Structure 1
Amino acid sequence: MAPLGASPRLVLLFSGKRKSGKDFVTERLKSRLGGNICALLRLSGPLKEEYAREHGLDFQRLLDASTYKETYRRDMICWGEQKRQADPGFFCRKIVEGVSQPIWLVSDTRRTSDIQWFQEAYGAVIQTVRVVASEQSRQQRGWVFTPGVDDAESECGLDNFGNFDWVIENHGDEQCLEDQLEHLLGFIQAKL
């Protein structure tokens, strides 16, 4: 059931590997659509906030792409999995509270249970978007395979999801990315 007051026209659930460019893509889309039309939602936000509170850590430092965050990433993943096992929609419900914009971009969908929750709550307005990048492109962005992180459900949970509604290739070709974003923007704007 959708939280009260929330009636988006379109919810785009973005997923992809670390350093594939999910945040980059969603930030670009939001900047073009504007904050009054588009809400950028991150499932990792409430997870990191709650984890920081329970463990006495600096929440703001867990939000950036820092060594600080990487120090706690593995434990934070395990902690988040425990929360999800107890309540699969826990973090999903938190990010949609009070959101009033008609277009929602969820930048870090990582599990089938995330997609299922949104589909059950919002039905036909859901679109899944996979951002893909070659290992070489990801490495150029600073990605290094980390055991216990890159082979965990938080990174692999949607590898065999099936058919995404959209696949954005972000291998470093700016024009190719731009063409794909223009196509997606056209779809989004048609929903307004």
Structure 2
Amino acid sequence: MAPRGGAPRLVLLFSGKRKSGKDFVTEALQSRLGADVCAVLRLSGPLKEQYAQEHGLNFQRLLDASAYKEAYRRDMILWGEAQRQADPGFFCRKVVEGVCQPVWVRVPRGSIEETPCLQASLSGASLLPSVTVTRGGSNPVGATPRVDDGESECGLDNFGDFDWVIENDGDEQRLEEQLGNLIEFVRSRL
């Protein structure tokens, strides 16, 4: 499918606690649909890039799962929340620039304030189903107080009913079934 400009035809809004597997699920979805069809949008990239620029840090190291990123995580979260309070759509506008695929898979940081900005970019998108990825237990693996219980991780906890729930509890066959059902749904809307 050739790239096209304008609004997407379908947007899937993903959420889930840190380490729930939402990145794994969204990357599997993109891999199976193809990068020319499906764009994975992450607000954390523009946030980390801007934070690195303003604080003289290594942007690439803030992207990985390293002790370097963890050393700055709490301050970066507080800084990001302050930026969103000043301009709720700042990071959203940065992440959708130049995206032309018909399917957008968005991994929100958990902040509900960014959703109106995203919705403003979506004239023409037929559906905005919400998907949450869960992992067994109420706390994520390696939960960090004042990081994993903050707005950036818990802002969508009381969102209401999600259209899809992907249970990532270690049962690979069940996870594959759930991914297959979601992919079938996406393809039926294109």
Q: Assess same fold via TM > 0.5.
A: yes
For residues 23 and 108 of structure 1, the distance between their equivalents in structure 2, rounded to whole angstroms, comes to 11
Q: Is 1:166 aligned with 2:164?
A: yes
Q: Normalising by the residue count of structure 2, what TM-score does the alignment of the two structures yield? A: 0.91
Q: Which residue of 2 aligns with 1:88?
A: 88
Q: Which residue of 1 aligns with 2:129?
A: 127
Q: Is 1:147 aligned with 2:149?
A: no
Q: Residues 78, 136 of structure 1: CA spacing in aligned structure 2 closer, same or farther, 3 A cutoff?
A: closer
1:1-192 equivalences in 2 (<5 Å): 5-122=5-122, 124-135=126-137, 138=140, 143-192=141-190
For residues 130 and 117 of structure 2, the distance between their equivalents in structure 1, rounded to whole angstroms, comes to 13
For residues 145 and 135 of structure 1, the distance between their equivalents in structure 2, rounded to whole angstroms, comes to 11
For residues 28 and 136 of structure 1, the distance between their equivalents in structure 2, rounded to whole angstroms, comes to 24
More helix by share: 1
Q: Residues 21, 137 of structure 1: CA spacing in aligned structure 2 closer, same or farther, 3 A cutoff?
A: farther
For residues 156 and 48 of structure 1, the distance between their equivalents in structure 2, rounded to whole angstroms, comes to 19
Q: Normalising by the residue count of structure 1, what TM-score does the alignment of the two structures yield? A: 0.90
* Equivalent AA in structure 2 for residue 171 of structure 1: D
Contact kept in structure 2, 1:13 and 1:109, CA below 8 Å: no
For structure 2, the 5+ residue unaligned runs are: none
Contact kept in structure 2, 1:130 and 1:166, CA below 8 Å: yes
21-30 or 103-112, larger mean C-alpha shift: 103-112
Contact kept in structure 1, 2:109 and 2:153, CA below 8 Å: no
Q: Report the CA distance between 1:126 and its aligned residue.
A: 1.5
Q: How many residues align?
A: 184
Q: Report the CA distance between 1:93 and its aligned residue.
A: 1.0
For residues 6 and 76 of structure 1, the distance between their equivalents in structure 2, rounded to whole angstroms, comes to 32
114-123 or 43-52, larger mean C-alpha shift: 114-123
Q: Report the CA distance between 1:116 and its aligned residue.
A: 3.1
* Equivalent AA in structure 2 for residue 13 of structure 1: L
Q: Give deviations 1:137-184, integer Å, cap 9, x for gaps.
A: 95xxxx312111011001111111101111111111001111111110
For residues 74 and 100 of structure 2, the distance between their equivalents in structure 1, rounded to whole angstroms, comes to 33
Structure 1 moving runs of 4+ over 6 Å = none
Q: Report the CA distance between 1:122 and its aligned residue.
A: 1.9
* Equivalent AA in structure 1 for residue 28 of structure 2: R
For residues 115 and 133 of structure 1, the distance between their equivalents in structure 2, rounded to whole angstroms, comes to 24
108-117 or 55-64, larger mean C-alpha shift: 108-117
Q: Report the CA distance between 1:82 and its aligned residue.
A: 0.8
Q: Report the CA distance between 1:118 and its aligned residue.
A: 2.4
Q: Report the CA distance between 1:112 and its aligned residue.
A: 1.4
Identity score, percent:
64
Q: Report the CA distance between 1:19 and its aligned residue.
A: 0.6
For structure 1, the 5+ residue unaligned runs are: none
73-82 or 118-127, larger mean C-alpha shift: 118-127
